[in-house]
Chain A
Amino acid sequence: MRSKTVWLIALLAVLAVAIGVINRRWAPAPKSGASLPVESKLAPDFSLTDLEGRKLNLADYKGKVVLLDFWATWCGPCRTEIPHFVEMQNKYGPEGFQVIGISMDDDAKPVREFYQQYKLNYPVVVGDDKLAERFGGVLGLPVNFILDREGRIHARHLGATDVSVFDREVKDLLAKH
C-alpha cells in the first residue's frame, strides 16, 4: 500500500513537471518594450519638413544624443510616452539631447492638433512607409531609436518602454564626449 502511494506521488510529480515544461515551451515570449540588439551603425539620414515648416535634416543633429520616436496619434502607448519625452527634452536638452518625433499617421491634421494640444517642445515630422523601411521597418508602434553623438544607433526599443530605460541610456551617452 505504501509502495503504491509512493508510486502515485512520483507519477503526479513527473506529470506536473512535464506539463510545466510544455507550457513554458509553448508560452509566447513577451515582446512589448523589447530592447532589440542592433548593430552600432549610422542611422539613415533623412530630410523632411517639420510641423513648424522648418527643414529637418537628421545629419544636422550630429554632436547631439538623439531620441527618434516613431509614433502616431492613434497609438495609446505612444501617447503615454510623449509627456516623458517632453520632460526629457527640458531636462537634458541643455546637455546636448534632442528628441525628434516621426509620426506614422496617414494624415497630418491630427498630428498638428496633437502637437499643439500637448505642447510638444521638439520637432515632429510626418513619416511614411519608405522612411520606416530605411529604419528596418516599423511594423507596430511605438518604436524608438537612441542615437549617439556620432549618429550611430545605440539602441532600438519596440513597444511601450519604461521611461527609466530611456533616461539611463541618454544619460550614459551624454556622459561620453
Chain B
Amino acid sequence: MNRTYYLRFYFAVCVAALALVSRAAAQSPVLFDGTSPIAFSFQAAASDDAIPHAQLITPEELAKFLQSAAAHKPLLLQVGPHSLYAQAHIPGSEYIGAGSSEAGRKQLRQRVKALPHDTAIVIYCGCCPWGHCPNVHPAYQELHALGFSNVKVLYIADNFGTDWVDKGYPVAKGD
C-alpha cells in the first residue's frame, strides 16, 4: 500500500516538473547564430503580423544576452524619438532617428551600408505601446529590404520606461 502511494506521489512530482521545465524552456535567451528558434510566451497583438515572431526578442531575453559572456554582441540601434534616447537608452546602443521619418530611415541605411548582411542587429523604440509604435516596423522593413537576415526587434509591450528601465535592466543617458 505504501509503495502505491509513493508511486502516485512520484508520478505527480514528475508531471509538475515537466510542466515547469517546459515553461522555463520557452523563456530561454535567444542566440544570434540563427540556429535557436524562439518560443514566445506572450500573446501578440494583431498589428504584430508585419514583423515575424521569429524576429522578435523580449527585454528579458535581450538583457540576459547582453549580460552573457557571448563573444559577439549585436549592433543595437534605437529607432525612436531623440527625447527618449537622451533620457534613457540601452548602453552601447546608437541613436539612429525615428523609423517613421524618411530622415531616420536614411540615417539607418547609412549606418548599415558597409555591414555584412548577416550582421546581428537589434532595433528598438519604446515610445508607446507595441501596437501603436510607428517606428520599429518601417525600420525593420528597411533592413529587410536591404537584405539583412539577422535582425531582431525588441518587443516592448508598453514603453521603454515600464518594460526596460523599471525592470532594472542597464540604462545609459545622454546623446
Q: Do A and B come from the same complex? A: yes
A-side interface residues toward B, CB under 8 Å? 7, 11, 14-15, 18-19, 22, 26, 28, 31-32, 72, 74-78, 104-106, 127-129, 132-133, 137-142, 158-160
A sample of 5 cross-chain residue pairs with beta-carbon separation below 8 angstroms, ordered by A number, consists of: A15-B16, A140-B84, A140-B128, A140-B160, A159-B129
Q: Is the CB of A74 within 8 A of B134?
A: yes
Q: Is the CB of B12 within 8 A of A15?
A: yes
Of the candidates A7, A28, A132, which one forms a contact with B87 in the assembled complex, judged by CB atoms under 8 Å apart?
A132
Task: State whether the Cβ of B66 lies closer than 8 Å to any Cβ in chain A.
Answer: no
Q: Is the CB of A106 within 8 A of B98?
A: yes
Of the candidates A19, A76, A158, which one forms a contact with B19 in the assembled complex, judged by CB atoms under 8 Å apart?
A19
Of the candidates B8, B23, B88, B127, which one forms a contact with A141 in the assembled complex, judged by CB atoms under 8 Å apart?
B127
Q: Dominant SS at the B interface?
A: helix
Q: Is the CB of B132 within 8 A of A140?
A: no
* Range of interface residues on B (Cβ < 8 Å): 20 to 34
Q: Is the CB of B83 within 8 A of A127?
A: yes
Q: Is the CB of A140 within 8 A of B83?
A: no
| Interface residues as binary, B91-126 with A (CB distance below 8 Å gives 1, 0 otherwise) | 000000010100000000000000000000000001
Task: State whether the Cβ of B53 lies closer than 8 Å to any Cβ in chain A.
Answer: no
Please name the residue on chain B nearest to A30 by beta carbon.
B158
Q: Is the CB of A140 within 8 A of B88?
A: no
Residues of B within 8 A of A158 (CB): 159, 161-162
| Interface residues as binary, B16-27 with A (CB distance below 8 Å gives 1, 0 otherwise) | 100110010000
Residues of A within 8 A of B82 (CB): 106, 129
Task: State whether the Cβ of B157 lies closer than 8 Å to any Cβ in chain A.
Answer: yes
Task: State whether the Cβ of B172 lies closer than 8 Å to any Cβ in chain A.
Answer: no
Q: Is the CB of A32 within 8 A of B158?
A: yes
Q: Is the CB of A77 within 8 A of B132?
A: yes
Q: Is the CB of A76 within 8 A of B83?
A: no
Q: Is the CB of B128 within 8 A of A15?
A: no
Most chain B CB inside 10 Å of its own CB: which residue of A19, A74, A133: A74
Q: Is the CB of A132 within 8 A of B83?
A: yes
Q: Is the CB of A140 within 8 A of B158?
A: yes
Residues of A within 8 A of B69 (CB): none
Task: State whether the Cβ of B42 lies closer than 8 Å to any Cβ in chain A.
Answer: yes
Knowing that A28-B42, A129-B87, A141-B159 touch, tell me 19 more A-B residue pairs with CB under 8 angstroms. Answer: A14-B12, A15-B19, A76-B128, A104-B83, A127-B83, A129-B83, A129-B86, A132-B83, A137-B87, A139-B87, A139-B159, A140-B84, A140-B158, A140-B162, A141-B128, A142-B128, A158-B162, A159-B129, A159-B159
